[in-house]
Amino acid sequence: MALRAGRRLSWWGLLVPTVLLYALIFFVPLGVLVGESLRAGSDGPLSGVNYSAFFSDGVTLGIFLRTVRLSLLITLACVLLGYPLALFMRRAGPALRLVALAVVVSPLLTSVVVRNVAWLLVLGREGMVNTLLRQAGLIDAPLPLLYNTFGVVVGVTHVYLAFLVMPVFSSLLSIDPSLEDAAASLGASRTTVFWRVTLPLSFPGLIAGTTLVFVLSMGVYLTPVIMGGSFVTTLPMVMTDLVRNQFDWPRAAAFAIVLLAFIALVLGLSSRAERRIERMRGEGM
Amino acid sequence: MTDQVRISRRAALRGLGALAAAPLAAPAVITRSLAAGETLVVYNFDGLLGKVIKDHWIDPFAQKAGVKVEVLTMQGSSPPMAKIKAQVDAGRPDADVIPMQMTDYVFGVRNNLFQTIDAKDIPEYANLYPSYITPHGPKLVLWSYGLAYNTDKIKTAPTKWADLWDPQYKGKAALNEALFDQALEMVNLVAKGKPLPVDDETFAYLTKLRPNLATLWTTGAQAEQLIRSGEVWIMPVWNGRVYPLKDQGVPIDFVSPQEGFFTRADPFCIPRGARNPDLAKAFIDFSCTVAPQQALAEKLFYASPNKKVVYSPEIAKRVVVSTPEELARAVPENYELIVDNLPDWRRRWDAWKQS
């Protein structure tokens, strides 16, 4: 008994370095942030005024909802592009798989500024796409591809695609092909096999991937500044301005906490969905 | 009882010892701070401006004073105020000299972040225009805000801010988001002939400009890219961004608009608790002198508050404010009021962007 307790304790001991590190670089600053967010102005008295401002100042809530909308659009774009790609990678041979993976991951290895400026050259009014379309006689006036929501979705999807493809790909790989063969041998068409077998079995990866992309997109800052021409305003841009230009750190802290709480909620919902799927599968088998 | 007595006696002895040692130690401290090997730490701008200041202000000073100067590069021209405030409050700022933007300066003064600088410590103050001397340092690097335009695309040069509203520039203009307060003042100049107040009329007039706006930008590098790529033909920008491009052959020119232009400058301040205040003052004094000031005007076309600086006719045109009369033409700006109103203006600006 004592031996087992001791062993369990030493297992917990493995956590110590991480817990210490997180306490130092995450939980302590987070505590400071919460403390700061409860002040009315720097060095002001305790108050919830910064939190109520989020909902009642007439602008911030709107920007937050637009940020959610933008993140949903990015997530949708990632699913539409990423899921077929992951399916392709599952079928492809090792060499092709490696090439596809390298292409998807490569944006993560480039600086965000370089990537965005390259997009400016492609999507700008005098950029590659518009020039080609105009020379082909398909359009008269340049299409507005940049400095709007479309531009931001393109720029962010380009990078975050990897975060969707990876989990979906690994969850597709773990599907036993004999399940699909079985469905086919029982008369299911290829589309039925996909909708009834492959897709549901890849849900854990899809949920993980979409959650990751959505959560990351909620914090996007530089791409809306460069490719959205600042007309696409996200909550992190509001917070940066509060810190940088208005010196209102308590309010920025409160907004950060609200964003964090929202993200925690999304993560909670996502892990609940994943658990439910696992339970359903357990019952089915 | 005896223990207590003994301890307090020991403490008293220690105290006496420290007192006795102080006069001996003091000269050592003084000589160390003036001797070679002491390091002055200054914040500097990034990009071309940072390079000119390094070559013509910092390096010559280091050589002349025989000290090492360590440079901390800022992002653009924005000192990290959150960090600076935390460091000053903790009594250990990481730099001795920091250039401030005017709104940062107002914030810094309100939070007691800077040392006051006695005029007698800066002999060169005698040659500066008095309005460019603040209690916490001289306002240097006078940049002027006017209109830049693409000379290939626009054959008749614009002459006034109101030209931005010209329907022929539909989707070809841009504004600076980072200085949106100045953009609002500019709109007011056109709409009502004076920079303030910012009200519904201001935003209504701004909405009329919306069809012309291709984008907003936040850094000078972005503005440069927009002009270079032909994405934007006309925009308010500062002179020092325009002329170096023109000299590289980019089809661009600068006009100071009829309604009036804006001139801003950066106070060079010493944070409270700085480690080398004397060296910092010596550096600020040197920076105010003619040679470094003239160099900045000739290389990057930023004017100087030093009356002794002489500009050639071509440079005089480019620095915009080469004489006291020109300086007086600049639109007066009330930075205290701007800082007070910034949160409100920002909310209205953000709401306008979404409408």
Supply the ipTM of this predicted assembly.
Answer: 0.84
Tell me: pLDDT of B19 over 90: no
3-state helix, strand, coil in chain B (%, to 5): 55, 20, 30
Query: Closest Cα to residue A251, out of A55, A31, A49?
Result: A49
For residue B338, being part of any structural domain is answered with yes
Tell me: pLDDT of A3 over 80: no
Interface mutation vs chain B, best among A245, A249, A255, most B CBs within 10 Å: A245
Q: How far apart are CA A150 and CA A144, in angstroms?
A: 9
Q: What is the mean pLDDT of residues A194-208?
A: 93
Average pLDDT, chain A: 90
Which tops the pLDDT comparison, A283 or A168?
Answer: A168
Q: How many CB atoms lie within 10 A of CB A221?
A: 14
What pLDDT is stored for residue A2 in this prediction?
A: 58
Encode pLDDT of B147-177 as tens digits.
999 999 999 999 999 999 999 999 999 999 9
CATH number of domain containing A87: 1.10.3720.10
Could you tell me which residues are beta bridge partners of residue B97? B42
Model confidence at A6, in pLDDT bands (50, 70, 90)? low
Q: What percent of chain B has pLDDT over 70?
A: 90
Encode pLDDT of A133-184 as tens digits.
999 988 888 888 999 999 999 999 999 999 999 999 999 999 999 999 999 9
Q: How many CB atoms lie within 10 A of CB B80?
A: 18
Model confidence at B286, in pLDDT bands (50, 70, 90)? very high
For residue B12, being part of any structural domain is answered with no
What pLDDT is stored for residue B78 in this prediction?
A: 85
Structural domain total, chain B:
2
Question: Which residues in chain A have Cβ-Cβ distances shorter than 8 Å to B222?
Answer: 226
For residue A8, being part of any structural domain is answered with no
Q: What is the DSSP string of A11-44?
A: HHHTTHHHHHHHIIIIIHHHHHHHHHHTBSSTT-
Q: What is the mean pLDDT of residues B56-79?
A: 93
For residue B20, being part of any structural domain is answered with no
For residue B10, being part of any structural domain is answered with no
What pLDDT is stored for residue A5 in this prediction?
A: 65
Could you tell me which residues are beta bridge partners of residue B99? B268
| Token reading at B350 | 């953000």
Q: What is the mean pLDDT of residues B300-324?
A: 94
Encode pLDDT of B208-254 as tens digits.
999 999 999 988 888 998 998 889 999 999 999 999 999 999 999 99
For residue B18, being part of any structural domain is answered with no
Its domain, for residue B95, covers 38-142+264-329
**B237 and B350 assigned to the same domain:** yes
Shortest alpha-carbon distance between residue B101 and chain A (Å): 11
Interface mutation vs chain A, best among B81, B203, B231, most A CBs within 10 Å: B231
What pLDDT is stored for residue B33 in this prediction?
A: 46
**B311 and B347 assigned to the same domain:** no
Tell me: pLDDT of A65 over 90: yes
For residue A10, being part of any structural domain is answered with no
For residue B25, being part of any structural domain is answered with no
Structural domain total, chain A:
1
Question: Which residues in chain A have Cβ-Cβ distances shorter than 8 Å to B177?
Answer: 230
3-state helix, strand, coil in chain A (%, to 5): 80, 0, 20
Q: A244, B81: Cβ pair inside 8 Å?
A: yes
Question: A249 at the B interface (CB within 8 A)?
Answer: yes
Q: What is the mean pLDDT of residues B81-90?
A: 92
Q: How far apart are CA B131 and CA B252, in angstroms?
A: 32
Which of B103, B216, B350 is opposite residue A63, by nearest beta carbon?
Answer: B350
For residue B30, being part of any structural domain is answered with no
Question: B71 at the A interface (CB within 8 A)?
Answer: no
Question: Which residues in chain B have Cβ-Cβ distances shorter than 8 Å to A58?
Answer: 347, 351
What pLDDT is stored for residue B18 in this prediction?
A: 45
Model confidence at B25, in pLDDT bands (50, 70, 90)? very low
Query: Closest Cα to residue B195, out of B261, B253, B241?
Result: B261
Which of A58, A120, A225 is opposite residue B351, by nearest beta carbon?
Answer: A58
Question: A35 at the B interface (CB within 8 A)?
Answer: no
**B309 and B168 assigned to the same domain:** no
For residue A6, being part of any structural domain is answered with no
Q: What is the DSSP string of A156-186?
A: HHHHHHHHHHHHHHHHHHTS-HHHHHHHHHT
Question: A29 at the B interface (CB within 8 A)?
Answer: no
Question: B82 at the A interface (CB within 8 A)?
Answer: yes
Query: Closest Cα to residue A235, out of A214, A208, A217, A209?
Result: A217
Tell me: pLDDT of B29 over 70: no
| Token reading at B28 | 């050592």
What pLDDT is stored for residue B229 in this prediction?
A: 85
Amino acid at the residue A119: W
For residue B15, being part of any structural domain is answered with no
Question: A146 at the B interface (CB within 8 A)?
Answer: yes
Question: A243 at the B interface (CB within 8 A)?
Answer: yes
Average pLDDT, chain B: 89
CATH number of domain containing B270: 3.40.190.10
Q: How far apart are CA B213 and CA A54, in angstroms?
A: 29
Question: A258 at the B interface (CB within 8 A)?
Answer: no
Contact, A238 vs A255, CB < 8 A? Answer: yes
Shortest alpha-carbon distance between residue A209 and chain B (Å): 30
| Token reading at A42 | 């720097």
Its domain, for residue A219, covers 16-284
What pLDDT is stored for residue A112 in this prediction?
A: 87
Question: B46 at the A interface (CB within 8 A)?
Answer: no
Tell me: pLDDT of B20 over 90: no
Which of B214, B218, B350 is opposite residue A225, by nearest beta carbon?
Answer: B218
Q: Out of A2-16, B42-56, B88-102, B219-233, which region has the weakest mean confidence (pLDDT)? A: A2-16
Model confidence at B37, in pLDDT bands (50, 70, 90)? low
Q: What percent of chain A has pLDDT over 70?
A: 95
Tell me: pLDDT of A44 over 80: no
